[in-house]
Structure 1
Amino acid sequence: MDELLRAIRHRVDRFLVTHEPGLLLSREAVAEANALWSATFGGAGEGTVEVAHALGMFAMGRAAVLPDGQDQDDARQAVKLFRMIASHAPELVPEQMRQYIPLGARDVRERYERAAELLRQFEERRDVALLDEAAAVLRSAVDIPADDGARASVLNALGVMLSNRFEHTGDAGSLDEAVTRGREAVVADGGSPLYQSNLGVSLRNRYHHRRDPADLDEAVRCGEAAVRGTGRPQDPAMYRAMLGLTYRARAEHTGDLSDLDRAVDLMRAAVAGSAVDDPDLGKRTTNLTSVLTSRYDLRGNAADLDEAVAVADTWVQRTPVSGPDRAAALGLLASCLEDRHDRTGNRVDIEHGIRAARDAVRASADMDRAEHLSRLERLLRSRFRRYGALADIIAAIETGRQAIALLPTNSPDRAWMNSHLCSALRSLFFVNGRVEDLRASIDAGRAAVAVRSLRSVHDLGHATNLAGALADMAYHTGEPHYADEAIQIMRDTIERTPATDRYRPSRLSNLSNLLQRTRAPHSRSAADEAVRLARDAVGLTDPAAPGLEFHQLALADALLARHAHSASPADLDEAVAAYQHAAGQQSGAPDWRIAAAREWASLAARRGQWAKAVDGYVSAADLLDVAIWPGLDREDRERKLLNVARDLGTGGAASALNAGRAGTAVSLVEAGRAVIWAQLLNSRTDLTRLSAANPQLAVRLDAVRRSMATRSDD
């Protein structure tokens, strides 16, 4: 039988390519088909899907080439055979045959179950072919008569499946069909809240891909209809959560803060309306903390950051220590603490965040451990950037590599994890100058971009990190092709970054820095562009927002690069003012602020403005105690001091003497050493009064002090 099956399949395959009638109409072909039928379906033989499909294709091909009036027997035979396999493998039924195969309730139920099983397999294996097969199974059920109540269910399930497929493949055609099927489901059912909500999700996904605001407006209408039409008690939380995400997307597009307020209200209600054991509670809590953080970025109200941390902490408190959601809750708390630290600079937040992230790793199941390791890597990298402990960046790199090693080779999560590793390796290169680390950073960046191929706006950060590593290599080696590639990537990234995106200012400043260091020395037009980009970055950033100091530094550096061409005093004056603003940015990173103060001082000194130069050097010296964190090892503190305090002693003293301020000259010479000595003396403060007021706290503080002293002497 196997040989006959191969022969029939071979004939059908050749016919589909050549359309030669003799392949199916010859006596030999008919004899082979009859023999296969008899061997499989005749007598005691049992039919198989494979044989029925092969013979069905054979009969369908014959019906297509036989003259009218002679094709009916073969057509009936084809319908009979495809009906036999429709319930078992509906995806094998050709499109042109489906109209002849009516579907009953049992057929629909079986196809639903088959599609659900394929989706379950996809969640385990992440094989997109399984999604394709599930979609094919559901498409095969779409031909239910229009008045059949099951039709709307099939259309809705197919729309959700296709929207899911886009998330994993980036295929825009899947999104378009998802929207079409979703609309058909709503019409077929008369406006089910579930179908309205699912259509809204597909429309929102398409907006993120194509940026058409009409999709967002329709998504809002669908979501509002779903909330108004709620039936079951659990529905309000689900529909409000989905609608909240849509309002957030529209707020990001239009800048309308009333939409963002509506998103917060909806998400609060969704979290409040979710039971402790609701499987979507974690997702809704995460979305609420995210939108609160977004609103803080726009309004600057610290209460939003505090509420985000409180919401995450509440979820931790409601989650049993051994519960399945414990790791996710701890991970969210770690992320919220990280967000608040990044925006306020509170050291306690980053310490608590790292502790929560470590607890999340310990509580995580094997299948989720990579995600939690990656979060820990990000927090360690954040603490290194802010405070400079070498052990943090080394631990971040090792943790990131562990996370990547746990992922399947086809996992889309490898993109952002490799992107994080790219950033961490760049940071290590800045410390040790080893070009091997920079090459590894570029490799990780390329791996990140290769996984996702920049399918959506959310992937642009991967390209930005790669461009940064390429730019570093250009600075280090002087080889222009690295700079050329980095500049092109940055231009493409900025072009695709929405005007309201929170990362747009940083990308503008990064390109400005690259142009002023590689192109501006030889090109006035490049210098002009660098200034324009940096000005745009400053203009897009709230005056009190962290990160403004970085953009002001970029602007000042670009103005200096342009001054080399223009010799305009106005460029120098504006550069000094930008450095001064950057140094005075209270929420800014201390390292950037010190760098700005040093540049302000150096520029003023070159112009013979000694009093202004002294003010700059004194501002830098005053920030040393903030930048040199006493929690660092002695070696890390000394290394960081050498990096951030360079030229304070010599340049500062020379400027002070020229300004007639001998006492200030001595203070600047001793500034770095004074920081270390002051921290050492402060660690030996008498605890008698604290012991009287709070003995337990005094004991804990003494233990911490002893630990720090021990580490400092290593």
Structure 2
Amino acid sequence: MRERLLGQVRARLRRCTIDGDPTAVLAPEALIEVAALLETVSSPAEDLEIAHTAGLLYWVRCLSSNDQRDFSTALDLLAPVYQVRPGMVPDQVQAIFDEHGPGTFETAPLETAPLWTARAVGLLEDAMRAGDPAALDTAIDLFQQAVEVTPVDHPDRVVRLGNLSAALQFRFERRGQADDLNALIDLRHQTVRAAPIDHPDRPMYLVNLSTALRLRFERTGQPDDLDNALTAGRDAVATISTDHPHRAWCLSTLGGALCLQGERTGQLDDLDAAIDVLRQAVRVAPARDPDRPAYLANLSATLQTRFERTGQTDDLNAISDLLRQALELTPADHPNRPAYLATLSNTLCIRYGRTGQPDDLDNALTVGREAVTVTPTDHPHRAWCLSTLGAALRVRFGRTGQPDDLNAISDLLRQALELTPAGHPNRPAYLFDLGATLRIRFERTGQIDDLNTAIDVLQQAVESPPTDHSNRPAYLVNLSVALQTRFERTGRLEDLNAAIKAGQNAVATTPTDHPERAQCLSVLGIALRTRFELTGQIDDLNTAIRTSQDSEETTSTTSTTSAAETTPPP
């Protein structure tokens, strides 16, 4: 009986350690067999061969399962073996016993942290390569265990916090769970606090904190998160040496936060400051820096934001040039390549709207399709790529009027929304685009279901945070137009009143120098005049007249300050 059970347990160990089959030791049958083996002796210490074999099985199990019970059982069984022949136990177990002596451990000692970390790194690499969600979750649990056994003042704690935060960020990017983002920010605060002021990697920890805070701001719109992201970014730039290889990264991160501030406040000075910092990042980045394409793309994104405010053609041309440079430096299988392609597609669409050059539209569709084709179905940028291709098709629809394009746009945006969880910063834009598309299709087909759905999704876009986003006026004015359209179809006064309220909110939230303000005023004026004609309320007529006059003055002012005042609808 003893020999047969020893052979069975050893066979399982060989299948796991030699053949790479962890189920051999994780299966319930493995526990049944090792329990039967241990029952053949009154105490494992009386038979070191049994203690060694059983202890190894539990040890190999704990390496795969991260189960504290397996860990404790393995050390209990291997302790008598260590006392007689220390070299027979695994190296990590010997290190633990050398430091603490053999005995029972209710919690894992510090010496196990490298073990958990090494196992976690391998699992994280598997998850990043193959998209294995179970491997990712186990890796995070192991990184967490390594942190938990490491004292607050231990010199390796900073690195272990960094490992855990990197894994959490990867999972957040894949799943978009707010709990992961909150935990990530807490960890990065801990990392900054744990690093001495003169720690060589402190600027990087500050940059990581700034990035996480920006991500949460983009989801929730909480001003404190953006303010803290700016503070961390500025501290990183201030503390990193001018010749540090990561200085460009620090500058680019700060520039991205400044761009968000410009979007939030609508102040051109904030955008100009962001562009200056991002240009510094590109300038100081070595030519062979693998992150150089990202710096070029970040600069192009901020120029895009400024172009949307000013309509300056020079910014638009610079965006195209920067993105082409980024693509030339980016390998075909790089995970950022789809984003660069999608952004270039969007830029070419906008330039087509300015110049009418057919090549720009054709190229926009080509790179937009490439972006969708090369993006894996579980890639965090896939929804954005789908939306961008939809935008290029919408531009072509405006040129050709082909109904098939409208149907394709609707399908693409619905796919994008299926991939985008509630609270994601891009979800309002996808809702807006779908609503605008369905409203146009209603105008073509007269299908009231399209109009009703358009109003529903536009209302969702308006109600999505943050409520002070720079795109909110566009959402409101399009909702107002859709509600006016339904009023014309049904005669429901509730729709007209809601249209006026949305138009008033659009005007109230649009800066006086914004190129879209004239459109907001015009839409509101039409709704007010319609209600006057229905109810005879003189206040509506007076307000409509003032609104129309303001619209004409706004149009006159913007036409003298910009070569083109209105960007194409997103």
Asked if TM exceeds 0.5, the reply is: yes
- Alignment match, 2:531: 562
Alignment partner for residue 294 of structure 2, among 268, 283, 293?
Answer: 283
Q: Which amino acid aligns with 1:460?
A: P
* Cα gap change, 1:583 to 1:422, in 2 (>3 Å): same
In 2 relative to 1, CA 474–427 (structure 1 residues): closer, same or farther, beyond 3 Å? Answer: same
1:590 positional shift: 8.0
Q: Percent identity?
A: 24
SS at the partner of 2:333? helix
Gap change, CA 1:179 and 1:76, over 3 Å in 2: same
Aligned counterpart in structure 2 of residue 198 of structure 1, from 201, 208, 219: 208
Task: Please point out which of 399, 418, 423 is paired with 1:450.
Answer: 418
Partner residue in 2 for 1:344: 311
In structure 2, the gaps of 5 or more residues are 1-7, 13-22, 82-88, 94-103
Give secondary structure in 2 for the equivalent of 1:411. Answer: coil
1:209 paired with 2:177, answer no
Deviation at 1:526, TM superposition (A): 2.0
SS in 1 for 2:191: helix
Equivalent residues of 2:476, 2:506 under 8 A apart: yes
AA matched with 1:344: G
Q: What do residues 661-680 of structure 1 show as CA deviations (whole Å, max 9, x unaligned)?
A: xxxxxxxxxxxxxxxxxxxx
Do the aligned partners of residues 277 and 49 (structure 1) sit closer, same or farther apart at CA in structure 2, a change above 3 Å counting? farther
In 2, the alpha carbon distance for the partners of 1:210 and 1:8 equals 45
Higher mean alpha-carbon deviation, 115-124 vs 164-173, is at 115-124
Query: Which AA in structure 2 matches 1:283?
Result: A
In the alignment, which residue of structure 2 is the partner of 1:496?
464
SS of 1:367's equivalent in the other structure is: coil
User: Aligned partners of 2:517, 2:65: CA distance in 1, in Å?
Assistant: 69
Task: Provide the rounded CA distance (Å) in 2 between the counterparts of 1:399 and 1:136.
Answer: 40
Q: Distance in 2 between matches of 1:80 and 1:55?
A: 24
Structure with more relative contact order (C-alpha pairs < 8 Å, separation 6 or more): 2
**Equivalent residue number for residue 534 of structure 1:** 503
Aligned with 1:100: secondary structure? coil
Give the match for residue 138 of structure 1.
Answer: 143
- The amino acid across from 2:443 in the alignment is Y
User: Is the 1:494–1:504 contact (alpha carbons within 8 Å) kept by the matching residues of 2?
Assistant: yes
Q: 1:81-120, aligned counterparts within 5 Å? A: 84=90, 99-103=107-111, 108=114, 115=120
Cα distance in structure 2, aligned partners of 1:125 and 1:473: 40
Which residue number corresponds to residue 332 of structure 2?
Answer: 366
Tell me the TM-score normalized by structure 2. Answer: 0.72
Measure how far apart 1:378 and its partner are.
Answer: 2.0
Larger radius of gyration: 1
* Candidates 478, 490, 495, aligned match of 1:510: 478
Are the structure 2 counterparts of residues 420 and 272 from structure 1 closer, same or farther at C-alpha, using a change threshold of 3 Å? Answer: closer
Aligned CA distance change for structure 1 residues 589 and 431 (closer, same or farther; 3 Å): farther
Which ranges in structure 1 are unaligned for 5 or more consecutive residues?
A: 16-22, 64-71, 88-95, 297-338, 594-714
Note the C-alpha offset of 1:512: 0.9
- The alpha-carbon distance between structure 1 residues 173 and 484, as it changes in their structure 2 partners (threshold 3 A), is same
Superposition deviation, residue 485 in structure 1: 2.2
Note if contact 2:413-2:434 (Cα within 8 Å) is conserved in structure 1: yes
Per the alignment, do residues 592 and 575 of structure 1 end up closer, same or farther by CA in structure 2, a change over 3 Å counting? Answer: farther
Shift of 1:516: 0.7
Compared CA separation, residues 226 and 359, structure 1 to 2 (3 A): closer
CA distance change for structure 1 residues 390 and 149 in 2, over 3 Å: closer, same or farther? closer
Give the counterpart letter for 2:213 in structure 1.
L
- Measured in 2, the distance between the counterparts of 1:573 and 1:449 equals 40
Counterpart Cα distance in 2 of 1:265 and 1:436: 43
Q: Within 5 Å, which residues of 2 pair with 1:565-714?
A: 565-567=534-536, 571=541, 573-574=545-546, 576-577=548-549, 580-581=552-553, 584=556, 585-586=558-559
Separation in 2, partners of 1:97, 1:218: 42
* 1:77–1:359 Cα change, 3 Å: closer
Give the alignment partner of residue 483 of structure 1, picking from 451, 457, 475. 451
Q: Quickly say closer, same or farther: Cα 1:489–1:31, change in 2 above 3 A.
A: farther
- The residue aligned with 2:169 is 163
CA distance in 2, matches of 1:266, 1:363: 21
Q: Which moved more, 1:370-379 or 1:481-490?
A: 370-379
The answer to whether the Cα contact below 8 Å between 2:303 and 2:319 also exists between their aligned partners in 1 is no
| Cα deviations by residue, 1:406-445 (Å, 9 ceiling, x for unpaired) | 2222222221111122223334444444433222111101
Counterparts in 2 of 1:426 and 1:136: CA distance versus 1, 3 Å: same
1:126 Cα deviation after fit = 5.3
What CA deviation, in whole Å up to 9, does each residue of 1:51-100 have, x standing for no partner? 54499999948x9xxxxxxxx9887138999x95979xxxxxxxx97823
CA displacement at 1:446 relative to structure 2: 0.5
SS where residue 111 of structure 2 aligns? coil
Q: Given residue 169 of structure 1, which amino acid in structure 2 is its aligned partner? A: R
